[in-house]
Amino acid sequence: MSKTEDPHGGREESVRVFYNILLQSMDVLRAWADKIPGFTDLHKDDQELLFQSASLELFVLKAAYRVQVNDEKIIFENGQVYHRLQCMKTFGEWINSIVEFGLSLHRMGLDISSLACMSALAMVTLRHGLREPEKMEELQMKIIDCLRDHCTYNSEAQRKPHFFSRILSKIAELRTLSREGLQCMTEVAKFDDAHSAPAVIQNYISNQLPF
């Protein structure tokens, strides 16, 4: 069972924890992505591009979904748990944006099946540089159909007005939140003079992903 961690040791320790949360969460998310039916049938380069482009969006979505009303705990994808104020040391205002997004999902009544489709659609979408965009579009349409069927035929979803369109609009919001995360990573790397950022973090910053 996860335990609440208390990252002591000042700025250096906070930065180390920040990088570990991101990197370990990305590993978990990558394993999740490979389990999406049809994803590993895409071109290998396209799999990598789609995941890298959406990984911050997925990081935000998964953490936000675990946010609870009147609860300051943040549960990350790697299983670590922190108080929101602890996260402020390095995540800054980005963590507040994640919390607000999570509360909006809570108000929507987003269920686990809708979350699964929403997560998949955040990743399986048109990105510049895809080798086989038509194969991506085929998979994308299957996921959209799955989400539409859930919103149409699930008894709980039927009671939520415009649920399908609201989910799609939330996916669009993830782009903004991921850009905010990229800015956060850039600021942390800029002020972390003592240690170089991990290669994965440097790659995000240098390539300005997601785009």
Could you state, in order of their start, the residue ranges of all structural domains in the chain? 10-202
- Using a cut of 0.85, tell me whether the model's pTM lies above it: yes
**The pLDDT of residue 124:** 98
CATH of domain 10-202: 1.10.565.10
Give the closest residue to 92 by CA, choosing from 156, 188, 161: 188
Task: Pick out the chain residues at pLDDT < 70.
Answer: 1-9, 192-195, 208-211
**The pLDDT of residue 4:** 47
**The pLDDT of residue 199:** 86
Is the CB of residue 58 less than 8 Å from the CB of residue 25? no
**The pLDDT of residue 196:** 76
Query: What span, in angstroms and rounded, lies between the C-alpha atoms of 83 and 74?
Result: 6
User: Which are the contacts of 206, defined by CB distance < 8 A and separation ≥ 6?
Assistant: none
Is the CB of residue 174 less than 8 Å from the CB of residue 167? no
**The pLDDT of residue 193:** 60
Cα 153 to the center of its chain, rounded Å: 27
User: Which are the contacts of 33, defined by CB distance < 8 A and separation ≥ 6?
Assistant: 39, 47, 51, 58, 123
